[in-house]
Amino acid sequence: MSELQSRFNTKYVLMITFISAMGGYLFGFDFAVISGALPFLKTEFGLDEYWEGFTTASLALGCILGCLIASEFSRLKGRKPALMAAALIFLVSSVSMALAPSLGWFICARFFAGVGVGMASMLSPMYIAEIAPANLRGRMVAVNQLTIVSGILITTIVNYYLSKTGLDSWRWMFGLGAAPSLLFVLGVILLPESPRWLVANGFPGKAEQVLKKIGGKEYAESTVNDIVQSFGRSSSISLRTIFQKAFLPSVFIGIGLAIFQQFCGINVVFNFTTTIFQSIGFSQDDQLKQTMLIGMINLVVTLLAMSQVDKIGRKALMLIGAAGLAVFYVISAILLKMNSPLAAYSLLGAIGIYGLSLAPVTWVLISEIFPNKIRSAATTIAVVSLWLAYGILVFTFPIFSRMVGVYALFYVYAGVCLLGFVFVWFKVKETKGKSLEEMDDIFTGH
């Protein structure tokens, strides 16, 4: 396959990658918008620490449902229709949150937004992985992370300027998500169906047509043949099949990576930036400036990660990230306990190392390590685990930070990172440059 992979229609691959990765942008929007809006939501709805945590975590609850819907929807109807459904959900939920007359309405709308985020978080990287050639796949899947961090950065910048327009600025913060949602709806119309889905559902000829546009006739024929063989290796899929001995290693690794990416703790910095920096005396204006700076750092390191994920490799970047985060967290805990403004720099360092490693690479690995036969269902289990871990993390942070102090939690997150380092070292295998069909041999021993 290596000779065939040297001739590709890169422009076409990039076009469909960026369109499908619009789901990542909206993921970033819904993920980040809460940080700038929280000070206003606290005033509007009188939130205590429990409701602050639940309002933030309600997105994760919707994400879990969204993953489950996306799995069955994409299996039965295809990846493209499922992406369209996610785009429409983003559109409706953005308007609903902006118009919310009560806390109950807002939480329901944010839950609904989470359904869209959950669908996109599973579908966008999976779709890209299924359509991108092996030697481009790491960078193409990382494009999804690039759009996520772009969504985070643009949202924090817009939040900062909207925050100066009055107490109702939070409505505009959420409502403006309708614009990129509409672009996503229009873009999905142009996408081809995933060739892996087409083969799995008895349309090898259509799959070959899609693959010809990507790499020519020889590449298309060879790839379709590999896909057919990989699907023929196992019987019909069920939950029992996923947890059979042959598939269990990849499923276990996928779940472990997903939980680690969240329990490493970095998302409390994204979602509770204002709370953390308020604890060391930053003004509200400075708190919102920090959210913008965090977004900028995240974007820069994601661009760097995209250039390295297919060179350095997945495993090496994950190890660098786990060790680096542990160090930055210990430094941050010490500085936060001292109420030192220098904590801002150590937390930015943590954001940087995360954006270079765990943020993009976890999604790359989840999208590629599962054999074709179980990819949709196994990806669902991994991403549901990720969002469940995220929900637990953001719900508990305001409560525990009130009980033991913000600084103490970063010691806990440092410990989680050390455990994650050990997990990656012993369990994760390098996958760079391997076709999706070769993952069967890596993780099942065929």
For the chain, list the domains and their CATH numbers: 4-191+232-444 (1.20.1250.20)
Ranked by mean pLDDT, the top range of 68-72, 297-301, 316-320 is 316-320
Q: Look at 10-19, 200-209, 284-293, 420-429 and tell me which has the smallest mean pLDDT.
A: 284-293
Tens digits of per-residue pLDDT, 70-104? Answer: 988 998 899 999 999 999 999 999 999 999 999 99
CA distances to 22, 185, 216, 296, 364 from 90, rounded to whole Å, are 11, 9, 35, 24, 23
**pLDDT(237) > 50:** yes
**pLDDT(115) > 90:** yes
**pLDDT(105) > 50:** yes
- Tell me the H-state helices in 46-133: 49-77, 79-98, 103-131
Say if residues 335 and 343 touch (Cβ distance below 8 Å): yes
The sign of the CA dihedral 199, 146, 413, 327 is: positive
pLDDT at 367 (0 to 100): 80
- What is the arithmetic mean of pLDDT over 376-388? 88
Longest dimension (CA), the chain: 65
pLDDT at 144 (0 to 100): 84
pLDDT at 235 (0 to 100): 44
Say if residues 96 and 6 touch (Cβ distance below 8 Å): no
- What is the arithmetic mean of pLDDT over 43-47? 91
Higher pLDDT among residues 157 and 280, named by residue? 157
**pLDDT(306) > 80:** no
**pLDDT(112) > 90:** yes
Q: How much is the mean pLDDT over the chain?
A: 87
**pLDDT(404) > 50:** yes
Say if residues 332 and 343 touch (Cβ distance below 8 Å): yes
* Percent over 90 (pLDDT), the chain: 49
Amino acid code (one letter) for 302: T
d(CA 103, CA 125): 33
pLDDT at 439 (0 to 100): 63
Q: Look at 123-132, 133-142, 249-258 and tell me which has the smallest mean pLDDT.
A: 133-142
**pLDDT(169) > 80:** yes
d(CA 23, CA 388): 20
pLDDT at 140 (0 to 100): 84
pLDDT at 363 (0 to 100): 83
Higher pLDDT among residues 92 and 247, named by residue? 92
Q: pLDDT-based confidence at 358, cuts 50/70/90?
A: very high
* Percent over 70 (pLDDT), the chain: 93
Instruction: Please tell me the pTM assigned to this model.
Output: 0.77
> Would residue 47 be called left, alpha or beta, if left means φ above 0 and alpha means ψ between -120 and 50 degrees?
beta
**pLDDT(171) > 90:** yes
- What is the arithmetic mean of pLDDT over 169-183? 94
**pLDDT(134) > 80:** no
Quickly tell me which residue has 């789901």 as its tokens.
23
- What is the arithmetic mean of pLDDT over 15-32? 91
**pLDDT(233) > 60:** no
